[in-house]
Amino acid sequence: MAAPGERSHGSDDRRRSGPGRRPDPDGLSAGPLSEAVTRPAADYYLVLSCVGLLVGLGVLMVLSSSSVYAAENLGNSYYFFTRHMIYLGIGVPAAWWVSRRSERALGLLGWVLVIAMILAELLVVFSPLGDAGDGASNKGNRNWLHLGPVSLQPSEFAKLGLVLWTAGVFAAKRKELDEPKRLFVPAVFGFGAIIGLVVFGGHDLGTGVVLLAIMLAMFWFIGTSWRLLAAVLAAAAALVAVMTATSPGRVQRIQALLSGSGTVGTSEQPLNAIYALATGGWWGVGLGRSRAKWGGLYDGALNDYVFAVLGEEMGLLGTLVVIGLFLVLGLVGMRIATRSTRVFWRMVAASVTAWLLIQAILNIAVAMKWLPVIGVPLPFISYGGSSLIANLMAVGALLAAARHEPEAKAALKRRSAPAQERTVRVTSVVDGKGR
């Protein structure tokens, strides 16, 4: 019992840890923010919030960045915006469907996507379906499958397929995880087949680099030795150097980056992207008021250089918000991976997070003239149907992993239990007079 005039530490602790507060081991109460991020389903809603904000920014930027190019070349300033909303209408339900699937279902989906995308890439490379209807080329790349009015970029869906398929392989061989070399062969075969078709057949080096980065990330997460990873990275770097040296267009991009001129051949897009970011200043010139989209960035304003348009219209604040959202998404994705007890969900969460962050870093680095132009879209913000739908489906897989965290799974189980089992019994405290 405390002396008169002194506080009872026990009663004080009980007061601080009353309803709405969670005491920590040191006896200090957690604040509202700390409680919010430690709830069982916190990761699920944090992913939803980050992606929802990025998708919303993407809608605004596609509407703004594409309007001039669409009006001048297609006679309809809302052409790309309308298509973007259609893709969003497909991608959101697809993400929801993926987020409700089991480990077995997503593993099977990985197999289906890998096989289907290998066949699709073969059609792109070796059949007339890889030719644009008007005979135009996509800046030297052959990476689209044209099926009448519908065009599909198989390599975007191959990213998701390879992540799910490889995670399933690792889960099936979980007893051999201490011997990564034995896991190396099947995974490299799948990645190698698609990377070979994308890079050598479709000449799309940017997508090939992203696929390679995803593969290396997955092997790093599974615990592959540094020596093996370094050997693969060295071989890949040598291959990229050879492909760059044998392509005049890629050589021009490297020379423009090293010279600081920012000019690639006859294109001044890299330099104009820097001007756009500088023009934006702290707060931007206002939504829809970008000058660079009127010609300086041309068709790159809605995909490769959408970050530059965003920086011009929303300023440094807007760019920091985008970077911050990707950073939070990355941290939450890795927390989902560390909380997962199943190999499959751990690998899916870590790999999807790595994929989205790597792609975002590459796109932003190109817009800021830190890297040569490689044609990688900014997830959720750049225009592109295949990319948007595949990215949203990947987020669905990340949400599925969040739903299978032990605490989240237990909370969902309690929520779905019959009402009788969830009834809380309240006991009363009575004093001696009531006995």
pLDDT by position in tens, the chain (length 435): 444 444 444 444 434 444 444 444 444 345 665 666 667 778 899 999 999 999 999 999 999 999 988 998 888 899 999 999 999 999 999 999 999 999 999 999 999 999 999 999 999 888 888 776 544 445 557 788 888 788 889 999 999 999 999 999 988 887 776 666 666 778 888 898 999 888 888 888 888 899 999 999 998 888 877 888 888 888 888 887 777 777 766 677 676 666 655 555 546 788 888 888 999 889 999 988 888 888 778 778 888 899 999 999 999 999 999 999 999 999 999 999 999 989 999 999 999 999 999 999 999 999 988 888 888 999 999 999 999 999 999 999 999 999 988 887 777 667 766 655 555 545 444 454 444
Residue 415 lies in a domain: no
CB 275 within 8 A of CB 50: no
Considering the domain boundaries, does residue 434 fall inside one? no
Confidence at residue 178, expressed as pLDDT on a 0 to 100 scale: 67
82 is a domain residue: yes
3-class state of residue 237 by DSSP: helix
- Domain assignment present for residue 325? The answer is yes
**CB of 307 within 8 A of CB of 319?**
yes
Confirm if 245 and 360 have CB atoms less than 8 A apart. no
Query: Do the domain assignments include residue 6?
Result: no
Token pair 């990229």: residue: 240
The reply to whether 425 falls in a domain is no
- Output the pTM of the full model: 0.84
The domain of 295 spans: 41-406
Domain membership of residue 374 (yes or no) is: yes
Domain count, the chain: 1
Could you tell me if residue 34 is inside a domain?
Answer: no
- Predicted confidence at residue 18, as pLDDT, reads 42
**What does the alpha-carbon distance between residue 154 and residue 113 come to, in Å, rounded to a whole number?**
9
Q: Each residue of 42-82: pLDDT tens digit?
A: 889 999 999 999 999 999 999 999 998 899 888 889 999 99
- Assign residue 328 a region (left: φ > 0; alpha: ψ between -120 and 50; beta: otherwise): alpha
Cα-Cα-Cα-Cα dihedral sign, residues 299, 120, 355, 324: positive
